[in-house]
Amino acid sequence: MSNQLIHNIVKRHLNPADKYIYGFANLTGLLPSKFDGYSFGISIARKLDDNIIDGIIDAPTPEYLHHYEEINHLTLVLAESIASDLYGEGIGAIAIKPTILTDNNELDEKYPTLRYDISHKMVATRAGLGWIGKTDLFISKYFGARIRLISILLNTEVESKGNPINKSRCGSCSICVEICPVRAATGQLWDIYTDRDVFFNAIKCKDKCTEFGRTHLKVDRKICGICVAACPIGRKN
């Protein structure tokens, strides 16, 4: 199966094209055994609306919550449509839900694991689309943190045009660390050998997101976005 066919299938779904970036990843040895046979993946990043993100100052806005949920639904439909078209060409493909929609216990009240079977960020770093920031955001080279990720697993080898990114490119920038209302990050740089819990306290983050949803927006949602808006990479101004 040619790489070009897979590229063409992906690209015809990315509309408008300037809102997306994508790449292919070799995931050999990186996935749970239930995905045996699916050793390659597609990572797609959908850009968020700059005007909505710029409106986040010290708390999430209703507009951001609506946009966040809208883009999560859009990217899920996108991934499922691409996977269906790939399957129609004889390629095994599995669309992985956006993390906020998974059935894992990560979003339960007591946060027993804060882990998923498949990390969209991992797939994206293996595809060379970007790296992990100090507050555990995925930082894309073109759109910064202002994105949502989706992944599709493949049972067919596909050649990546981008080199995997193995360490942070945030350097000495600590804007996200300093602006976080619960100081969830230590400021340490990410690399593929460093566990997330070493540099970022995900439970602190989730607890604050829960508080923002319930007390600020009056909804049972976990939402923040302060560090997304603060990251200078990808900002128009």
User: How confident is the model over 99-103, as a mean pLDDT?
Assistant: 51
222 falls within a domain: yes
* Nearest Cα residue to 44 out of 81, 1, 69: 81
237 falls within a domain: no
Which pLDDT does position 109 carry in this prediction? 46
Q: How far apart are CA 64 and CA 56, in angstroms?
A: 8
Total domains in the chain come to 1
Q: How far apart are CA 170 and CA 232, in angstroms?
A: 10
Sequence letter at residue 76: L
Which pLDDT does position 100 carry in this prediction? 56
User: How confident is the model over 190-201, as a mean pLDDT?
Assistant: 96
Please determine, for residue 30, whether its predicted confidence score (pLDDT) is greater than 70: yes
Mean pLDDT computed over every residue of the chain: 91
72 falls within a domain: yes
77 falls within a domain: yes
Q: Does the global pTM surpass 0.85?
A: yes
235 falls within a domain: no
User: How confident is the model over 206-234, as a mean pLDDT?
Assistant: 95
Please determine, for residue 106, whether its predicted confidence score (pLDDT) is greater than 50: no
Which pLDDT does position 114 carry in this prediction? 52
* Nearest Cα residue to 117 out of 34, 192, 45, 37: 34
**What residue numbers bound the domain in which 61 lies?**
3-230
* Nearest Cα residue to 225 out of 21, 72, 61: 61
* Tens digits of residue pLDDT in 113-131: 455 678 999 999 999 999 9
236 falls within a domain: no
* Tens digits of residue pLDDT in 165-180: 999 999 999 999 999 9
